[in-house]
Structure 1
Amino acid sequence: MKLKHCLADTDSGAWGDDPEDGRGVPVLRSTEIDLDGNLDLKDTANRSLTEREISRTRLTKGDLLVVRSSGSDAHLGKTGYVGDESAGASFSNFLQRLRLAPTHNSRFAWYFMNSTYAKQQIRKLSSTTTGLQNLSAALIGELEIPSPSLDEQRRIADFLDAETARIDHLAAKLHRQSQLVTEREDASIPMGVAGALLCTTKVRTGLPWMPFMNPDAQIVPLLRVLQLQRGVDLSDDQRIDGPVPVVTTAGLSGWHNRAIAEGPGVVIRRYGSRGNVHWVDSDYWPHNTTLYVKNFNGNSRRYCYHLLRALPYEMEQVKSAIPGVNRNDLHRLKVAMVPQSLQESVAEAMDSEMVKFHVAHERIQRLKQLLTERRQALITAAVTGQFDVSTASGRNVTDGVTA
């Protein structure tokens, strides 16, 4: 059955104007709908709408909101379900509201719209203009939706409510595990680079972000360890294809025929964070959006890489009215420097730790991906009738079904 025959009404929303009094009406946008079709109402926009627009776009429980314009395959057609919390709000002009006829269950239709079966149809039906993919009301209406009885639609929706809640609970636990691994990693980097993990007796540093150090380490300004220099601009038009990596804030971003920095080297983004310190094996070109180590002062380059990973960039950025980190401020930052005789041992230990944490993150990410795939396969199999939901609870119902 075509979706248009299941609808009582469908219309697009309104965006209105900026409210003069700062209040306005809450208006839901595509950004409030996540990839699973859940609505996140923490940051809704407030807009000034006319009384007619408010009346026309007021949402009621059971309405579906479809993203009808996006530059991404993943976001085009994602569909949110209006529950008690979002009822009464309005919706923007980039969304299409679907209101189901009484003969069809809106939760079943919501699961259908977020199934692989529907998304495959959406990809075929969508049109493209100026880099955006678009879905008109007419195209949405052409989607082929399974049409079991109303009672069966309710059973399928109830089953999916329960099963997806279990999967979402597991996903939340994995997310928390990922956070704990990140917290442990963040805590271990300053300890490790200060040599505190190589000894049984630790010395307090007096530094809030690097509390302990090796007894043989000393507190010095970062400039004593290394000297940072701003990179040099190199536009796409200026680049000549060659073997030299061009390193920007995100890492490798292209190639050039000439290097201005000797490798192996270390590059950080000027808007620094621990996740944006890059090791470069060969001679390279550091972009002007970065800072690079111009002089290692005779210290181990790999040790300096890990030291820069440990710096409290967020603390330094808070001190400045200008976004980003100032190399002169970083040069003055006090750090615990281990003697050169220990630096290679520290670097090797840090490399080992980095691999361990990377493996942990990869494992958690893979488990999260498997849960996502299982969730999608379960929804698609249920709405397309590949198994009987009344006898499926507690079994691995996605065995032998297709997403």
Structure 2
Amino acid sequence: MSTPGHWGEDGQDDGNILVLRSANFLKAGGLNYETAALRKFDAKKLVQKRLEPGDLLLERSGGSPAQPVGRVNRFDAQGDFSASNFLQILRVRDKVDDWFAYYLLDSFYAQGGTEHLQKATTGIRNLDFATYLATTIFLPPLDEQRRIAEVLRSADEAIRTAELAASGAKSARMALLADLLHRADWEPERALPSGWHTPLLDMMAKRGSGHTPSKQFSSYWNGDVKWISLQDTKRLDRVYVTDTAATITPEGLANSSAVLHPANTVVVSRDATVGRSAIMMSDMAVSQHFISYTCGPALSPLYLYYWLQRMKSVFERIGAGSTIKTIGLPFFKGLKIAIPDRAEQDWTAELLWQADSQVFAAEEAIDRLRLVKAAVSDDLLSGHIRVPA
């Protein structure tokens, strides 16, 4: 059975059904039932459009340039739910396992199967549903479908277990940051431990910035000098930055206000994604969107990195600008840091580094499991590998 979803009428006062939309599709898979919209259906639509456990929800309209239309999810809740008119409700036939059908359609989407089935109108992407339904698929006997689905559910369970481990590691890291580091003037209600002090950060590290060489001269670009820019957002907040999206040449460095900062310099973004930070693994330059700190002997670069991480909420709060958030230079000139002696800095930074290492290990485990699942899915759902009884 296949039927389009229905939006119904405003149900604020007398709603009788919860309607799921594309917005209820979770990035990691599954549905967020808590934010379903309360709507009102007439008696006929209630019967026609009510979801049953095992129904599949196919996104027929929506998507974006970075996210093709055609995502799919499996409904597995109890209660009165339906789907919006931007979704298609699919109910499998007797000789088709709903879990197998879900994994098949989800794999088709993940491999880009819907990209050529999109029709864009006024910013909304619509799925060519007739062509979608005409796609040839591998359909083994029902008992084998169930065995395949069980294998893939086991893979999903392993991924969820790894995600819980990663979430726990991240929570432990955040708790350590809050417990071990003080945010100086931004946390006056919390007394400094004995032996700590709050000097200007400029007294403990040499502050610098950067520049963007002219794009009019090709000889300034694609050289050997690593250059941190807003393109490197995803490389930050991972403790160390080892590579950059763009590089410049010594000529570009010499003919601009850019500066080559030494390894172990700490950088923090002051524009757009304010507060993201990292430590340079090698000599690098930065764009004007970053502040750099080259630490003196009394300040550990790793401690400074974690202190800046602790300050992220402050940076985000004070960032000004309607289009691009920016933190002005006067803020950094007056910024104070709360620090203990160097030995305690090193001890604190080491504890936090160990916590981060656990987070990174958990995230890498998730990535590996997802790669394994993708490979197994491709083999099982295409029939390249059969699953005998």
How does the TM-score come out when normalised to structure 2?
0.64
Cα distance change, pair 334–36 in 1 and its aligned pair in 2 (3 A): closer
Q: What residue is the counterpart of 1:312 in the other structure?
A: 311
Using the alignment, how far apart are the partners of 1:359 and 1:349 within structure 2?
15
Helix, strand or coil for the counterpart of 2:57? strand
Q: What residue is the counterpart of 1:79 in the other structure?
A: 72
Name the aligned partner's letter for residue 363 of structure 2. Q
Helix, strand or coil for the counterpart of 1:286? coil
Check conservation: 1:28, 1:45, Cα contact below 8 A.
yes
Check conservation: 2:56, 2:102, Cα contact below 8 A.
yes
Aligned residues: 356
- Kindly state the Cα deviation for residue 140 of structure 1 after the two structures are TM-superposed: 1.7
Unaligned runs of 5+ in 2: 237-243
Matched, 1:163 2:161: no
Using the alignment, how far apart are the partners of 2:148 and 2:202 within structure 1?
64
Paired residues for 1:244-255 under 5 Å: 245=227, 247-248=229-230, 250=233, 254=246
Q: What residue is the counterpart of 1:97 in the other structure?
A: 89
Helix, strand or coil for the counterpart of 2:338? strand
Name the aligned partner's letter for residue 286 of structure 1. Q
Paired residues for 1:1-400 under 5 Å: 8-11=1-4, 13=5, 26-34=18-26, 37-44=29-36, 58-68=50-60, 70-71=63-64, 76-85=69-78, 87-93=80-86, 95-115=87-107, 119-120=110-111, 122=113, 126-127=117-118, 129=120, 135-150=127-142, 153-154=145-146, 157=149, 159-160=150-151, 163-164=154-155, 166-180=157-171, 182-183=173-174, 186=177, 190=181, 212=193, 215=195, 217-222=196-201, 224-225=203-204, 241-242=220-221, 245=227, 247-248=229-230, 250=233, 254=246, 257=252, 258-264=255-261, 266-270=266-270, 276-279=276-279, 281-287=283-289, 290=290, 292-293=291-292, 302=301, 305-306=304-305, 309-315=308-314, 328=330, 334-337=336-339, 342=342, 356=354, 359-380=357-378, 383=381, 386-388=385-387, 390=389
Unaligned runs of 5+ in 1: 1-7, 195-205, 391-403
Check conservation: 1:259, 1:284, Cα contact below 8 A.
no
The share of aligned pairs that are identical, in percent, is 19
Using the alignment, how far apart are the partners of 1:263 and 1:349 within structure 2?
30
- Kindly state the Cα deviation for residue 81 of structure 1 after the two structures are TM-superposed: 0.9
Name the aligned partner's letter for residue 186 of structure 1. L
- Kindly state the Cα deviation for residue 80 of structure 1 after the two structures are TM-superposed: 0.5
Name the aligned partner's letter for residue 337 of structure 2. V
- Kindly state the Cα deviation for residue 41 of structure 1 after the two structures are TM-superposed: 2.4
Helix, strand or coil for the counterpart of 1:62? coil
The CA RMSD measured in Å over matched residues stands at 5.3
Using the alignment, how far apart are the partners of 1:142 and 1:161 within structure 2?
25
Name the aligned partner's letter for residue 70 of structure 1. G
Using the alignment, how far apart are the partners of 1:230 and 1:46 within structure 2?
51
Using the alignment, how far apart are the partners of 1:62 and 1:20 within structure 2?
26
Name the aligned partner's letter for residue 218 of structure 1. H
Helix, strand or coil for the counterpart of 1:335? coil
Name the aligned partner's letter for residue 96 of structure 1. Q
Name the aligned partner's letter for residue 81 of structure 1. R
- Kindly state the Cα deviation for residue 312 of structure 1 after the two structures are TM-superposed: 2.5
- Kindly state the Cα deviation for residue 235 of structure 1 after the two structures are TM-superposed: 11
- Kindly state the Cα deviation for residue 266 of structure 1 after the two structures are TM-superposed: 4.5
Name the aligned partner's letter for residue 287 of structure 2. W
Name the aligned partner's letter for residue 135 of structure 1. L
Cα distance change, pair 41–167 in 1 and its aligned pair in 2 (3 A): same
Helix, strand or coil for the counterpart of 1:66? strand
Check conservation: 2:181, 2:307, Cα contact below 8 A.
no
- Kindly state the Cα deviation for residue 359 of structure 1 after the two structures are TM-superposed: 4.4
Moved more, 73-82 or 137-146: 73-82
Using the alignment, how far apart are the partners of 2:257 and 2:44 within structure 1?
63
Using the alignment, how far apart are the partners of 2:152 and 2:284 within structure 1?
53
